[in-house]
Amino acid sequence: MRKTAGLALAILLATPVTAISMPHVELAVHYQPTSEAHNVVRLTATNFGPGNAYVMTYQTAFALPQGRTTGRWIQVRTESRRDVAYKGRWVVARSPDAASYTRISPGETITADVDLDTEYVLPEQGTVTVSSSIAIMDRMPELDSFGEPETVPQEIVESETIEFSVRAGSSAGKVPAVNAVIQCNVEQSASTQKAITGAQAASYEAVNFLSSLYYMDPFDPEDPVVPRVHMKPHIRYQYWFHEFDDLAPQPPDPGAMDTDNAMVDQVVFATYTRLIPGARTVCDSCPGYHPGARAWNEGDVIHLCPANFLDPVLGGVTSQAGTIAHEVSHRPDGEAVPTRDFPGVENRATAHALDRYRAVRSGANYEYFIMNVPLGKSGAR
């Protein structure tokens, strides 16, 4: 039953527009250098359909609070097809309201210019390819009693991929920094400490839970090969990451560390080990951010916005501890591939509906898996 529902959602997310009511939006990326910033791209989204189109603004590069991107919404790759590292912010925003969406009226074009030098670790020279994608809806979702938006049909619109030569000498990273760090009050400091401890405990439990699912073929002294590892099927793993791939390379096979199977272990383990010494957090008034923004992190510092403290410290669908675990999973420290946020993931149902490739790379999925957010009678399925 659960599987069928997931499959239907996955199809809904993956299928190009078929419903007559879905808006027709086209997304384009242009290379738009200026005399100071040489590696700027301009994104445009144009509504060619007869009805309004909506995007969740913070899941696109159109948001730009404080002039900065809210996630890796633009894909930048080198000539050898490697992802260029994203060094920008990752924003966690929850309980979206009308102001969280951008309406694109029929005939309207929305535009954003992004200085890739500010947000990405561009190579010094060579060619990069750039593309983006956004999730389009024909209406704004309502919130359910858990504060999660309902799932409305979405169409993922991809831009064409453009290519340009990186030009050095750019006034890189010249977006003026806004420092709005404030002193946490006593309650905020106390709840953050509890949230960090809660995220530590949850990620430790998640590491142990994962280990408990693995088992090995019996060792045969007559045939001394490295025993193969398998995974006992478990709904908690499958709901957030789908099926363990029993046929994927395993140690000592080449490529064993680069499989989707290995990715889950690496990210969960890295989240746990990063949290052992705690987490660097500051309270921030987050001016320019939407009031639903819970936090943003850059590097290894998590900026907690006022709305963070409206969430329960632990428990519930979303929590302050979950926000910490989520942000820590994005950290680009080389311990694991940094998780990403994917367009269209705005509740548990849409996180669950990601295909395996995306699910094992999605910050939201790790948050839900690690916090073991209860499934079931939530309205999210």
- Cβ proximity to Zn ion: between 53 and 336 the closer is 336
Binding residues for Zn ion restricted to 349-378, rule: CB under 5 A: 363
- Cβ proximity to Zn ion: between 206 and 324 the closer is 324
- Cβ proximity to Zn ion: between 90 and 120 the closer is 90
> How far, CA to CA in Å, does 221 sit from each of 67, 218, 226, 251, 252?
63, 10, 11, 19, 18
**343: contact with Zn ion by CB under 5 A:** no
Residue closest to Zn ion (Cβ): 363
CA–CA–CA angle 51, 8, 47 (5° rounding): 20
Q: Which among 4, 5, 10 has a CA at the least distance from the CA of 353?
A: 10
> Among the candidate windows 41-49, 184-192, 287-295, 335-343, which touches Zn ion by CB under 5 A?
335-343
- Cβ proximity to Zn ion: between 170 and 362 the closer is 362
> Among the candidate windows 56-64, 82-90, 283-291, 301-309, which touches Zn ion by CB under 5 A?
82-90
DSSP 307: G
- Cβ proximity to Zn ion: between 90 and 240 the closer is 90
Are 370 and 268 within 8 A, CB to CB?
yes
Cα torsion 327, 325, 146, 13: sign: positive
> Among the candidate windows 151-159, 277-285, 338-346, 348-356, which touches Zn ion by CB under 5 A?
338-346
Q: What are the E-state strand segments in the chain?
A: 25-31, 40-47, 53-56, 74-78, 90-93, 101-104, 109-115, 127-136, 155-158, 162-165, 181-182, 214-216, 229-231, 280-284, 293-298, 301-304
| In the complex, minimum distance from the CB of residue 360 to Zn ion, in angstroms, rounded to a whole number | 15
- Cβ proximity to Zn ion: between 38 and 340 the closer is 340
| φ, ψ at 129 (rounded to 5°) | -110, 145
Binding residues for Zn ion restricted to 90-119, rule: CB under 5 A: 90
| In the complex, minimum distance from the CB of residue 90 to Zn ion, in angstroms, rounded to a whole number | 5
Binding mask 167-206 for Zn ion (x = CB under 5 A): ----------------------------------------
Count interface residues toward Zn ion (CB under 5 A). Answer: 3
- State which of residues 341, 351, 352, 368 lies at the interface with Zn ion (CB under 5 A): 341
Locate 294 and state its tokens. 């819970």
Phi-psi region of 121 (alpha: psi -120 to 50; beta: other; left: phi over 0): beta
| In the complex, minimum distance from the CB of residue 234 to Zn ion, in angstroms, rounded to a whole number | 25
Rounded-to-integer distance, Cα 9 and Cα 312, Å: 29
Q: Which parts of this chain interact with Zn ion (CB under 5 A)?
A: 90, 341, 363
